[in-house]
Amino acid sequence: MNAYQACFSKLDRAALIPFFVIGDPSYDVSAELVKAAIDAGADILELGIPFSDPVADGPTIQKADLRALKAGMTPARAIEFIREITAYKPIPIGLLVYYNLLVQYGVNRFFEDFKQAGGTSVLVADLSIDDADEIIPSARRVGLETVFMATPNTPDGRLRFISEKTTGFIYAVSLLGTTGERAALSQTVRPFLSRLKRLTDKPICVGFGISSPEHAFEVAQAGADGVIIGSRIVKFIEENPENPARIKENITRFIRDVLDKLPPQSPKSRPSS
Amino acid sequence: MKHKGRFGPFGGYYVPEVLIPALEEIESAFEQFRNDRRFLQELNTLFTDYAGRPTPLYHARRFSEVTGFPVYLKREDLLHGGAHKINNALGQGLLARYMGKSKLIAETGAGQHGLATAIVGALLGMETKIFMGFTDVARQNVNVRKMRLLGAEVIAVEGGTGTLKDAINEAFRYWTAHVEDTFYLFGTAGGPHPYPTIVRHFQSPIGQEARRQCLEKTGRLPDIVTACVGGGSNAIGIFSAFLDDPQVRLVGVEGGGKGLQTTQHCATLCRGRVGILHGARTYLLQDENGQIRDTECISAGLDYPGVGPEHAHLKETGRAEYVSVEDEEVLDTFFLFSKTEGILPALESTHALAWLCQQKGILPPETIVIANLSGRGDKDIDIVEHHRPLASRSL
Ligand SMILES: Cc1ncc(COP(=O)(O)O)c(C=O)c1O
């Protein structure tokens, strides 16, 4: 059983997965905020290494990437960061990274270092399933899980292919678009989730645009195994650049609100295919 | 996707999953229509009657006296819109219409590709949005005004240094949210497959004409074909016809900016390292961690930290060579060339001319050179006068 299966099988609700850009707004504050999210009850973490050209991201995460880069975040320091977090408390960590950063570090070496720091899975934002074999052997060798994105416009055949290559969870993108807060949950989520559930028995976590406890509730209600909340969390940092204590308070409260809202579900015991 | 879109180890389509269906759709439409009789007829008529193809191959006699060897100019500057960009914009625009798309988006640096797309959008009656970095909006303002007059919406992109890279990022983001009805009309021979192949295809008349015209005028093939390289579309357009003529030297000229010893240049093939950006594995200007570097160049159209993957392959295999010239040399050549030939060259194209000036006394006098004059310089007069105010110029 991998770390995700262990997590999903002990929960009687959908997993709450906050996203942070590592080192936003600085190494120390970022570490404090991530630890606060764990203390508030986050089940899994999705962490991103900042990149100069994040094409899959909307304005909120773009700005977070810039803040983190300005404060000196690098892939090597991101590994240290992850080590510090998993030492604080063991928690499954999924990494989101743009491919060029991996390629420059060296895929094999990066995966070894990330695994060693306690990481669980990798998702490469700009590497599609067609080229997944550029990283899968390296991931399997060190025992990292692979996570891939599926989008509402992905055809059935491709979704099956994505499912086959996934050992962690399927990252279901709720809409056609980049990351970013949205006022309303996308209409495509429900039909997309039911299509996905017909095609795969892998855990499915939904992300992009989930901005409130109500959105999280709806997604969980529709059968998601996990809810990924990115821009809304990151926005708390943008809103109070000079006040880490306030950011921490806001994030803690938000996570508790979401947890209160998540409906009960029977625990998943997923086949470990 | 039917093909991988590789040029040796370069190219591919490294994009988020959400864009794959759109790229697949374009790939299959391109395969379907590239040899379709009706499509070809329509495109050829647009090329000849609307854009002004074939363009002349002109023996620049007075400039040749300066260099000491004969230079022939492929006059893409005479095309409608003032640059080679219209070839690709007409080709992809027509493809978009055959695919039933109603909206076009494009990125632009110098504004020439944005202008070409705005022209095609008006011509084909398609709603058009152009993404352009804020720095370029300021320095290529004439083109911004032209695009708006043609009915296109110009979106000033705030990220990064406000140049071509940032415009491409934002165009991709917009496309992600509008893939269903919008065609991304990519402007250079880079980006994810199938763009490098499509752009080369629609730019290849430059080389086919130039090769035939050179044989007609001189009775033989040129010794050297040279072109400036930003993303690489005008260069691949003219190089492509000579790839199987090993005796023809192919020379791509990149923006040397303030010098390759500084970081203020955009000489990607001369100074870059292989990585992945905007969907392709290719040479990139980047720091040791893989963060993409800011570039700087007097010519907005070359100011880009990546390059089309086929050029990366041509460099690696040695079939083409890539050099650079600095801003100051480009300005010198701009004035010299304008006065000797009566043609204002685009600052982009002037890079190739400046390299030829450097070859004076190096290349033997019987060397026949074709330089791709990819565009005209009207858009650049503000920049040129800013760098070299009239009052400070003797002569
Ligand atoms: C006249 C002209 N030449 C060349 C370029 C560079 O592009 P490419 O390398 O794709 O030909 C541009 C780009 O804007 C241009 O306007």
User: A267 pLDDT band (50/70/90 cuts)?
Assistant: confident
Please tell me the distance in Å from B15's CA to the nearest CA on chain A. Answer: 4
| Mean pLDDT on B343-370 | 98
Distance of alpha carbon B191 from the chain centroid? 13
- Residue B206 Cβ inside 6 Å of ligand 1? The answer reads no
The rounded Å distance from CA B37 to ligand 1 centre is: 30
Q: Give the pLDDT band of residue B394 (cuts 50, 70, 90).
A: low
**% of chain B exceeding 90 in pLDDT:** 96
Q: Which is catalytic among the residues B107, B170, B209, B310? A: B107
More confident residue, B160 or A33: A33
Closest in A53, A104, A150 to B17, CB measured: A150
Residue indicated by tokens 């299959």: B28
Are A176 and B291 within 8 A, CB to CB? no
Structure tokens, A138: 């390296």
Q: Verify whether ligand 1 is closer than 6 Å to residue B372 (CB atom).
A: no
The rounded Cα A83 to chain-centroid distance in angstroms is 17
8 Å CB contact of B290 and A103? yes
pTM given for the model: 0.97
Task: Compute the average pLDDT of residues A81-96.
Answer: 98
Active site residue B204: no
Q: Is residue B127 flagged as an active site residue?
A: no
**pLDDT tens-digit readout, B15-73:** 999 999 999 999 999 999 999 999 999 999 999 999 999 999 999 999 999 999 999 99
Q: Which single residue is written with the structure tokens 């994810």?
A: B192
| CA–CA gap between residue B6 and residue B20 (Å, rounded) | 16
A120: tokens are: 């669980």
Q: Report pLDDT digits (tens) over B163-204.
A: 999 999 999 999 999 999 999 999 999 999 999 999 999 999
From chain A, the residues in CB contact with B289 under 8 A are 74-76, 101, 104-105
pLDDT in tens, B265-314: 999 999 999 999 999 999 999 999 999 999 999 999 999 999 999 999 99
How is residue A175 written in tokens? 């809409």
The closest CB to that of B16, out of A53, A126, A131, belongs to: A126
Average of per-residue pLDDT across A179-208: 96
Q: Is residue B283 within a helix (H) or strand (E), and if so which, with residue range?
A: strand B279-284
> How many Cα atoms are found within 13 Å in the side-chain-facing hemisphere of A21?
32
What is the tens place of the pLDDT at every residue in B313-324?
Answer: 999 999 999 999
Residue A133, Cα to own-chain centre: how many angstroms? 21
Mean pLDDT (chain B, rounded): 97
Residue of chain A nearest B169, judged by CA positions = A55
How far are the Cα atoms of A113, B188, B286 from residue A23, in angstroms, in the given order? Answer: 18, 35, 20
CB–CB of B173 and A178 under 8 A? yes
Q: Provide the strand spans (E) within chain A.
A: 15-21, 45-48, 93-97, 121-124, 145-146, 148-150, 170-173, 204-207, 226-229
Structure confidence at residue A269 as a pLDDT band (50, 70, 90): low
pLDDT surpassing 80 at residue A272: no
With contacts defined as CB-CB under 8 Å, which chain B residues touch A99? Answer: 14, 276
Measured by CA distance, the residue closest to atom 5 of ligand 1 is: B301
Say if ligand 1 is within 6 A of residue B76 CB: no
Residue B139 has what pLDDT? 87
> Mean pLDDT across the stretch A181-210?
96
Sorted by sequence, the CB contacts under 8 Å of residue B80 that are 6+ apart come out as: B50, B51, B52, B86, B119
Residue B391 has pLDDT above 80, yes or no: no
Which protein residue has the closest C-alpha to ligand 1 atom 4? B348
pLDDT band at A270 (very low <50, low <70, confident <90, very high): very low
* Residue B187 alpha carbon, nearest atom of ligand 1: 10
**For the segment A131-167, what is each residue's pLDDT rounded down to a tens digit?**
999 999 999 999 999 999 999 999 999 999 999 999 9
Considering the candidates B27, B64, B85, B129, report the single residue annotated as catalytic: B85
pLDDT of the residue at A273: 39
Residue nearest to atom 1 of ligand 1 (CA): B375
Report whether A174 contacts A189 (CB < 8 A): yes
